[in-house]
């Protein structure tokens, strides 16, 4: 019997949740079904709120340091869930993974350097280095039989002396791939050989679905360990993105000293009371919640897949191997991207992410967030079916 109620509809309006309160500003309609920003509409594990409430009762919120318990929670979690043994000194708090990526770009590259990404991919991988005046080079993923794979040969071809950084999305957003050991080793070998530092963003790692198992990039070989910065967080896993509790893991001493000095020079490694407490509470008490959450998310994914197959076969769901984001292949609708977006927003009253924001390969796709009660997904699918039918009869 399930212990947590993921069917509960929690009204998030008025909480400054970007996902719901920015709908009007972003989509021109505040009343859409919100299936875009990558957080979930589920309450976090009760231990998170209970720990914060208990700490609030104390009433004094002075300067706060990290604790042994905080580090041990991270170390135990990563070992228990990902079979990766990390040392305390490898870990540093970072105030968000996107910020962490920006810090790494600043710390390890110069304006004339190239940063390699594998689109379609989480858009800040392109935006952040670009804003920092680095040249972003695409090594697009290969889409084969509805499944993405990395273009290892393509990667080798585009490398040149200016290539300094590769940002890896492991698991991948929006394609949902949990990269295999072979794929990760190939990237590790090439990047090591060419002295290209790998940033492995593993924010979706805890949400891999059986039989897929997340493999931390740095754990695949010594070359990977010595040439990478891994970013992890309990934020996607336990729906606590607003608390901001991410961290970096760097096994290589020289890289670690450079990055930690970069952070500490501006006190960027200093977290806050609730970040430490929430991460610890979630990691120590969240296993059961996570099993149920993943089970619920997987059922939502299957619902979408079956619904589309039976009712809107022109749209195909790419089944994610991890996380709550479903990449919808809408290319058979044969619509211009602006018309596709309008079909979802104006006709179906749905707010999804426009595939084009994820860069090369995103055209014809939309990203659907299924981290929400099934009732919302059912309504969304019914709206979409009606909108597609209406559109097709009007053509
Ligand atoms: C791959 C990936 N990295 C990072 C983030 C955001 O991380 P943070 O909120 O810690 O900056 C997201 C959020 O959607 C994501 O999908």
Are residue 311 and residue 251 in the same domain, yes or no? Answer: no
Are residue 305 and residue 260 in the same domain, yes or no? Answer: no
- What's the number of domains the chain is made of? 2
- Please tell me the predicted confidence (pLDDT) of residue 395: 64
d(CA 295, CA 350): 24
Q: Domain holding 325: CATH number?
A: 3.90.1150.10
Among candidates 240, 223, 160, 157, which has minimal Cα distance to 187? 223
Of 98, 123, 324, the one to substitute when testing ligand 1's pocket (max ligand atoms within 8 A of C-beta) is: 98
User: Residue 309 Cα, ligand 1 centroid: separation in angstroms?
Assistant: 30
In a domain, 220, yes or no: yes
- The contacts of residue 64 (CB under 8 Å, 6+ apart) are 271, 272, 273, 276
Instruction: Answer for the pair 187, 166: CB distance below 8 angstroms, yes or no.
Output: yes
Q: Is 246 in the pocket of ligand 1 (CB under 6 A)?
A: yes
Domain boundary among 285, 318, 341: 285
In a domain, 3, yes or no: no
User: What six digits make up the tokens of 6?
Assistant: 């993921």
Q: Domain holding 208: CATH number?
A: 3.40.640.10
pLDDT in tens, 306-355: 999 999 999 999 999 999 999 999 999 999 999 999 999 999 999 999 99
User: Residue 203 Cα, ligand 1 centroid: separation in angstroms?
Assistant: 6
Q: Is 96 in the pocket of ligand 1 (CB under 6 A)?
A: yes
In a domain, 52, yes or no: no
In a domain, 395, yes or no: no
- Please tell me the predicted confidence (pLDDT) of residue 393: 84
d(CA 321, CA 144): 15
What is the mean pLDDT of the segment spanning 256-272? 97
Are residue 183 and residue 271 in the same domain, yes or no? Answer: yes
In a domain, 5, yes or no: no
User: Residue 98 Cα, ligand 1 centroid: separation in angstroms?
Assistant: 6
d(CA 365, CA 281): 37
Are residue 41 and residue 75 in the same domain, yes or no? Answer: no
* Integer CA distances (angstroms), 157 to 109, 152, 195, 323, 343, in order: 21, 9, 15, 31, 39
- Asked if the model's pLDDT at residue 185 lies above 90, the reply is yes
Are residue 77 and residue 189 in the same domain, yes or no? Answer: yes
Domain that holds residue 181: 60-285
Are residue 235 and residue 291 in the same domain, yes or no? Answer: no
In a domain, 328, yes or no: yes
pLDDT in tens, 26-76: 999 999 999 999 999 999 999 999 999 999 999 999 999 999 999 999 999
- Please tell me the predicted confidence (pLDDT) of residue 382: 98
d(CA 98, CA 106): 13
Are residue 279 and residue 319 in the same domain, yes or no? Answer: no
What is the mean pLDDT of the segment spanning 160-174? 98
d(CA 23, CA 351): 8
Domain boundary among 237, 268, 285: 285
Ligand 1 atom nearest residue 121's Cα? 1
Q: Is 173 in the pocket of ligand 1 (CB under 6 A)?
A: yes
- Please tell me the predicted confidence (pLDDT) of residue 272: 95
Are residue 235 and residue 292 in the same domain, yes or no? Answer: no
Q: Is 122 in the pocket of ligand 1 (CB under 6 A)?
A: yes
Q: What is the mean pLDDT of the chain?
A: 97
Residue written as token pair 């949902």: 176
User: Residue 391 Cα, ligand 1 centroid: separation in angstroms?
Assistant: 34
Are residue 89 and residue 161 in the same domain, yes or no? Answer: yes
Ligand 1 atom nearest residue 246's Cα? 10
- The contacts of residue 256 (CB under 8 Å, 6+ apart) are 89, 90, 250
In a domain, 1, yes or no: no
Of 19, 35, 122, the one to substitute when testing ligand 1's pocket (max ligand atoms within 8 A of C-beta) is: 122
- Please tell me the predicted confidence (pLDDT) of residue 178: 98
What is the mean pLDDT of the segment spanning 284-305? 98
* CB hemisphere CA count around 146 (13 angstroms): 13
Measuring from atom 7 of ligand 1, which residue has the nearest CA? 97
Are residue 38 and residue 103 in the same domain, yes or no? Answer: no
Are residue 213 and residue 72 in the same domain, yes or no? Answer: yes
User: What six digits make up the tokens of 142?
Assistant: 């290969």
Domain boundary among 260, 285, 310: 285
Are residue 98 and residue 145 in the same domain, yes or no? Answer: yes
In a domain, 12, yes or no: no
pLDDT in tens, 188-234: 999 999 999 999 999 999 999 999 999 999 999 999 999 999 999 99
H/E/C letters for each residue in the chain?
Answer: CCCCCCCCCCCCCCCCCHHHHCHHHHHCCCCCEECCCCCCCCCCCHHHHHHHHHHHHHCCCCCCCCCHHHHHHHHHHHHHHHCCCCCHHHEEEECCHHHHHHHHHHHHCCCCCEEEECCCCCCHHHHHHHHCCCEEEECCCEEECCEEECCHHHHHHHCCCCEEEEEEECCCCCCCCCCCHHHHHHHHHHHHHCCCEEEEECCCHHHECCCCCCCCHHHCCHHHHHCEEEEECCHHHHCCHHHCCEEEECCCHHHHHHHHHHHHHCCCCCCCHHHHHHHHHHHHHCHHHHHHHHHHHHHHHHHHHHHHHHHCCCCEEECCCECCEEEEECHHHCCCHHHHHHHHHHHCCEECEEHHHHCCCCCCEEEEECCCCHHHHHHHHHHHHHHHHHHHHHC
d(CA 133, CA 336): 31
User: Residue 317 Cα, ligand 1 centroid: separation in angstroms?
Assistant: 22
């Amino acid at each position: 019997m399930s212990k947590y109620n993921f069917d509960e509809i929690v009204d998030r309006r008025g909480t400054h949740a970007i996902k719901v309160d920015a709908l009007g500003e972003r989509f021109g309609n505040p009343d859409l079904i919100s299936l875009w920003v990558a957080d979930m509409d589920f309450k976090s594990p009760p231990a998170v709120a209970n720990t914060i409430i208990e700490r609030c009762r104390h009433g004094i919120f002075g300067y706060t340091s990290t604790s042994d318990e905080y580090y041990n929670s991270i170390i135990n979690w990563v070992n228990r869930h990902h079979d990766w043994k990390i040392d305390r000194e490898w870990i540093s708090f970072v105030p968000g993974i996107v910020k962490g990526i920006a810090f790494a770009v600043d710390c390890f590259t110069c304006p004339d350097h190239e940063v390699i990404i594998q689109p379609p991919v989480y858009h800040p991988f392109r935006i952040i280095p670009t804003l920092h005046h680095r040249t972003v080079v695409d090594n697009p993923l290969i889409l084969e039989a509805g499944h993405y794979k990395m273009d290892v040969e393509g990667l080798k071809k585009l490398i040149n002396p200016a290539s300094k950084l590769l940002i890896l999305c492991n698991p991948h957003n929006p394609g949902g791939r949990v990269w295999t050991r072979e794929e990760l080793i190939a990237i590790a070998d090439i990047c090591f050989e060419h002295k290209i530092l790998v940033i492995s963003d593993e924010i979706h790692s805890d949400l891999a679905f059986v039989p897929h198992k997340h493999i931390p990039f740095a754990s695949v070989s010594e070359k990977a360990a010595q040439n990478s910065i891994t970013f992890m967080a309990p934020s996607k896993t336990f729906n606590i993105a607003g608390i901001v509790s991410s961290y970096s893991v760097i096994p290589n001493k020289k890289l670690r000293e450079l990055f930690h000095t970069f952070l500490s020079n501006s006190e960027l490694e200093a977290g806050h009371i609730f970040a430490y407490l929430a991460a610890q509470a979630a990691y120590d008490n969240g296993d059961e919640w996570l099993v149920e959450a993943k089970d619920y998310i997987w059922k939502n994914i299957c619902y979408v897949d079956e619904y589309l197959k039976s009712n809107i076969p022109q749209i195909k769901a790419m089944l994610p191997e991890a996380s709550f984001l479903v990449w919808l292949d809408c290319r058979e609708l044969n619509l211009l991207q602006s018309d596709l977006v309008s079909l979802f927003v104006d006709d179906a009253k749905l707010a999804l992410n426009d595939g084009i924001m994820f860069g090369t390969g995103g055209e014809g796709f939309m990203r659907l967030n299924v981290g929400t009660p099934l009732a919302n997904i059912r309504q969304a699918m019914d709206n979409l079916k009606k909108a597609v039918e209406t559109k097709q009869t009007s053509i």
